[in-house]
């Protein structure tokens, strides 16, 4: 399996990358870590005529602190996972990255690349959706911020225009406990279903703030706002009862790995595990 | 289709060739540089047979185009041995523990284990399994491979070697 022929440009700046993409008239693709794109090219599921390599643009790498934590799009998974700012302020993201592929994938793949390729079962999309993150995209005409919920539009579909480059991910800092539960056929494989929870508790043990979501169930990562509202202010016990209608709130997909019925059935129990994990962590 | 000059430092040696943009790093190593120790397996990032150390970290050479790696430092399985007719500690431990049958996955397994031992001199079995989790072996059932990596770690600690294969 070899990729179809293409031209290659190594961009030395984001502007140069945007210009090259604009010149390619929709037939260009950005390559960062390549851990999603290269398999798609090898299987000829995509055959861009131009690849624009953004790996050597220093400004796109690294994690920086401010009101929010900003992650450069080309930051490799393993670098982000080990980063002290990510571990301290975005523990859910650090935890989620541990589930991304294997060591060799995490060494090369990038946080922005995972988001830009928008696989429905991608862990980073789910974690950043729960963190109320936004991404920054640059085009030849300027920059814009896109909330993650608007950015993710479907399976392998995002709000990025043909001449836009995703440059950074901005995540508000979060305290409290985190839960990340995944079912995959083999460790490191794409998830059949993922449930994630970010929980902050009040002094009396009730829920001060909660973010909940599922990945790999629908065509993109989703939040569960009704359940979040129901649980906010409540004691996080008796979860079977409180989560019993999760199955009715999702519209799962069927693929060769699992049926919609299976995904519907495990969504609630997996979410319960994620909440319990997060609560235990928040209490610790 | 653009063609590119690619220069790599492979196992300490600077090597150059011209290649198509679409040539993967593993094909470049094998076909242009004639370093056939690294194996081509699934060619889409699943089997791990093509693993090399790319700028210090185990990576899949089928998921990097050679042109992207221009200027990089690479260690292949050939670079793990102290000389062409001898084995490094890790390789010798694979021999000792019968950690291979057909040998197809072995270069990738050695690279994955090398990456682990460079960071962790005393890995648990769970950490060893995690490190080789991205590498498929159809023969051994993995047990002997885990045994071999554990043995190599032990030998390196005793020999006070500052990293694998030195």
Collapsing DSSP to helix, strand or coil, A26 comes out as: coil
Taking an 8 Å cut-off on Cβ atoms, the answer to whether A38 and B48 are in contact is: no
Nearest to A114, CA basis, from A200, A220, A187: A220
Paired with A110 in beta bridges are A76
How much is the pLDDT for A8? 98
In this complex, is the C-beta atom of B57 within 8 Å of any C-beta atom belonging to chain A?
A: yes
What's the CA gap between A273 and A78, in Å, rounded?
25
Asked if A218 and A252 count as a contact pair (C-beta separation under 8 A), the reply is yes
Q: How many Cα atoms occupy the beta-carbon half-sphere of B138 within 13 Å? A: 6
Tell me if A78 and B57 make a contact (CB, 8 A cut-off): yes
Which one of B60, B70, B119, B129 makes the best mutation probe of the A interface by having the most chain A beta carbons within 10 Å? Answer: B60
A108 touches chain B (CB under 8 A): yes
Report the pLDDT value the prediction gives residue B159, as an integer from 0 to 100: 84
| Buried-state track A251-283, b at ≥16 Cβ within 10 A, e below 16 | ebeeeeebeeeebbebbbbbbbbbbbbbbebbe
Q: How far apart are CA A227 and CA A249, in angstroms?
A: 10
* pLDDT attached to residue A267: 97
Q: What is the mean pLDDT of residues B87-97?
A: 97
Alpha helices per DSSP H over chain A? 14-23, 37-42, 77-82, 84-89, 91-97, 103-108, 111-117, 123-130, 148-151, 225-231, 239-242, 246-249, 260-283
In the block, which residue shows the tokens 């159809």? Answer: B138
| Nearest by Cα to A252 from A211, A218, A228 | A218
Touching check for B73 and chain A: CB below 8 Å?
no
* Three-state secondary-structure class, residue A182: strand
Nearest to B63, CA basis, from A59, A107, A8: A107
Contacts of A23 (CB under 8 A, 6+ apart): none
Q: A55 at the B interface (CB within 8 A)?
A: yes
Burial class (CB in 10 A: 0-12, 13-18, 19+), A49: middle
Average pLDDT along chain B: 95
Whether pLDDT at B161 is above 70: no
> What crossing angle do the helices spanning B106-119 and B143-159 adopt, rounded to 10°?
40
Please, which pLDDT band fits residue B84 given cuts at 50, 70 and 90?
A: confident
Q: Give ipTM to 2 decimals.
A: 0.93
Q: What is the DSSP letter of A84?
A: H
pLDDT range class, residue B164, cuts 50, 70, 90: low
Q: DSSP class of residue B24?
A: B
CA distance A232 to A212: 11
pLDDT in tens, chain A (284 residues): 899 999 999 999 999 999 999 999 999 999 999 999 999 999 999 999 999 999 999 999 999 999 999 999 999 999 999 999 999 999 999 999 999 999 999 999 999 999 999 999 999 999 999 999 999 999 999 999 999 999 999 999 999 999 999 999 999 999 999 999 999 988 888 899 999 999 999 999 999 999 999 999 999 999 999 999 999 999 999 999 999 999 999 999 999 899 999 999 999 999 999 999 999 999 98
CB B105 within 8 A of CB B138: yes
A188 chain-B contacts, CB cut-off 8 A:
133-134
Yes or no, beta carbons of B62 and A42 under 8 Å apart: yes
Label residue B166 by pLDDT band (50, 70, 90): very low
With contact defined as beta carbons under 8 Å apart, do B144 and B97 qualify? yes
- Give per-residue pLDDT as tens, B108-154: 999 999 999 999 999 999 999 999 999 999 998 899 999 999 999 99
Rg (CA), chain A: 19
For residue B70, give every residue at least 6 positions away whose Cβ sits within 8 Å of its Cβ, in sequence order, or none. Answer: B4, B5, B6, B7, B8
Gap from A258 CA to chain B (nearest CA, Å): 20
pLDDT computed for residue B162 by the predictor: 63
pTM of the model: 0.95
Q: Give the separation between CA A112 and CA A148, rounded to whole angstroms.
A: 12
Instruction: Work out whether the CA dihedral A137, A104, A9, A28 comes out positive or negative.
Output: negative
Q: Which tokens is A55 given? A: 């790996």
């Amino acid at each position: 399996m070899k990729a179809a022929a293409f031209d290659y440009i190594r961009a030395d700046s984001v502007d140069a990358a945007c210009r090259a993409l604009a010149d390619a008239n929709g037939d260009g693709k950005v390559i960062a870590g390549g851990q999603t794109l290269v398999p798609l090219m090898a299987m000829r599921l995509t055959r861009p005529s131009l690849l624009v390599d953004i790996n050597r643009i220093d400004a796109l790498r690294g994690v920086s602190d401010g009101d929010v934590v900003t992650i450069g799009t080309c930051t490799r998974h393993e670098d982000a996972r080990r980063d002290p700012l990510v571990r301290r302020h975005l523990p859910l993201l650090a935890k989620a990255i541990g589930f991304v592929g294997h060591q060799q994938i995490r060494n090369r793949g990038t946080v922005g690349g995972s988001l830009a390729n928008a696989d429905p079962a991608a862990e980073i999309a789910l974690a950043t959706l729960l963190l109320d993150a936004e991404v920054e995209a640059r085009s030849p005409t300027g920059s814009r911020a896109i909330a993650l919920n608007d950015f993710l539009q479907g399976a392998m579909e995002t709000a990025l225009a043909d001449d836009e480059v995703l440059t950074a991910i901005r995540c508000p800092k979060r305290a409290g406990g985190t839960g990340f539960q995944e079912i995959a056929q083999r460790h490191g494989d794409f998830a059949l279903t993922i449930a994630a929870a970010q929980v902050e508790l009040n002094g009396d043990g009730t829920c001060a703030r909660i973010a909940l979501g599922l990945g790999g169930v629908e065509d993109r990562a989703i939040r569960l706002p009704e359940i979040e509202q129901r649980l906010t202010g409540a004691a996080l016990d008796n979860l079977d009862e409180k989560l019993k209608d999760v199955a009715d709130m999702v519209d799962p997909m069927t693929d060769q790995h699992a049926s919609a019925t299976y995904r519907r059935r495990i969504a609630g129990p997996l979410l319960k595990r994620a909440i319990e994990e997060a609560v235990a962590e928040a209490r610790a | 289709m653009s063609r590119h000059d690619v220069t790599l430092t492979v196992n300490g040696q600077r090597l150059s060739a011209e290649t198509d943009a679409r040539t993967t790093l593993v094909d470049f190593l094998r076909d242009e540089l004639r370093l056939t120790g690294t194996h081509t397996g699934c060619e889409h990032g699943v089997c791990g047979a093509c693993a090399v150390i790319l700028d210090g970290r185990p990576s899949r050479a089928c998921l990097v185009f050679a042109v992207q790696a221009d200027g990089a430092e690479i260690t292949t399985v050939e670079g793990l041995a102290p000389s062409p007719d001898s084995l490094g500690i890790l390789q010798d431990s694979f021999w000792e523990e019968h950690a291979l049958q057909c040998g197809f996955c072995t270069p990738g397994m050695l690279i994955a284990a090398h990456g682990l031992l460079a960071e962790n001199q005393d890995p648990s079995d769970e950490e060893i399994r995690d490190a080789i989790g991205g590498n498929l072996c159809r023969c051994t059932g993995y047990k002997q491979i885990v045994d071999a990596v554990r043995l190599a770690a032990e030998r390196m600690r005793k020999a006070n070697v500052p990293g694998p294969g030195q």
